Chain A
């Protein structure tokens, strides 16, 4: 993102609207969707940082770990499970989302905009995961990097300039 700030700006704006701005889905729920997709795509950086954000908002790291690999068994609302199911399908292919997946989400109380945002959050992370891994970016070795990012993002959202390179 620092290499090409012109393209970083709309990516950050999109992430901010979808994950941070007011929504009927909580910030924790939306970060969990991002984390689940990043885990499905095996993107270590994205699942670590967004998992840390999700844990911050939900106050439960163990729940995030379980939601990454087995959301159906996790202590989550039936609505969020249905949305995570849609997000997991989107991660494979948009064409894998079925009318039954949508009907299940609706039956659990999801609105059209929640379904829309779930699909777009999942699609956005299919972008971010590939951007991060396709350029073989460096993963910080210390978890402190991720812990330090959490309060900054929680306070300011995704509009901030890219963080400087980690030196520790």
Chain B
């Protein structure tokens, strides 16, 4: 059960976003700019950064939905997303993305854990200053979102198809449309977000 009286039937971050729409607007905007705005990193690569950070923070809702969105962008390759979460060094992704994921994972622990060696490795693999900036900021934003979702003990559905359907919707319409009322889901377990 969520810690406060959130609107029912809205999973994960969408419950508190509906509870306090004023703060939902800038939250959605920053996520939309970072994950879907024009960029030298693909949306799939950026969703992988969000997914890895959410996994580091053990946030089940965020790693599930952003993992589904990443897979959607990566030709439906859910196995790749799972591999990147648990063993990214052996995943078939670019060296540049591996280096950016290392920066993101270190940011998730603490900003102070990002070393000059981490940055040098990313530069050597071809990362630009903007890509390094955005890897840090995506990681930082998900350290916020993960805590927002789990700190209020939000509810989440169990059905993987829910996330696949929602991923397609977000990939096509973006995050800023996501506070618009959506059909409520009938499946799921109260408290499963914990």
Contacts and interface: CB of A to CB of B under 8 A. Distances in A.
B43 interface: no
A151 B29 CA distance: 29
Contact of B140 (A113, A117, A128, A136): A128
Determine the interface band of chain A, counting residues with CB < 8 A from chain B: 35 or more
B152 A116 contact: yes
Determine the interface band of chain B, counting residues with CB < 8 A from chain A: 35 or more
A127 B19 contact: no
B27 A14 contact: yes
B105 to A, nearest CB: 11
Interface centre among A86, A95, A129, A136 (most CB of B within 10 A): A95
A117 B149 CA distance: 13
A116 B4 contact: yes
Secondary structure class of chain A's binding surface, majority of residues: helix
B145 A123 contact: yes
Contacts of A10: 26-27, 29-30, 33
B141 interface: yes
Given A4-B130, A10-B29, A120-B20, 8 more contacts: A95-B194, A97-B151, A116-B4, A119-B148, A124-B144, A127-B143, A130-B108, A133-B111
15 contacts: A3-B133, A7-B137, A11-B26, A94-B59, A94-B146, A94-B151, A97-B150, A119-B151, A120-B148, A126-B143, A129-B111, A130-B136, A131-B137, A135-B111, A135-B114
Interface of B: 3-5, 16, 19-20, 22-23, 25-27, 29-30, 33-34, 37, 57-59, 103, 106-108, 110-112, 114, 116, 129-130, 132-134, 136-137, 139-141, 143-153, 194
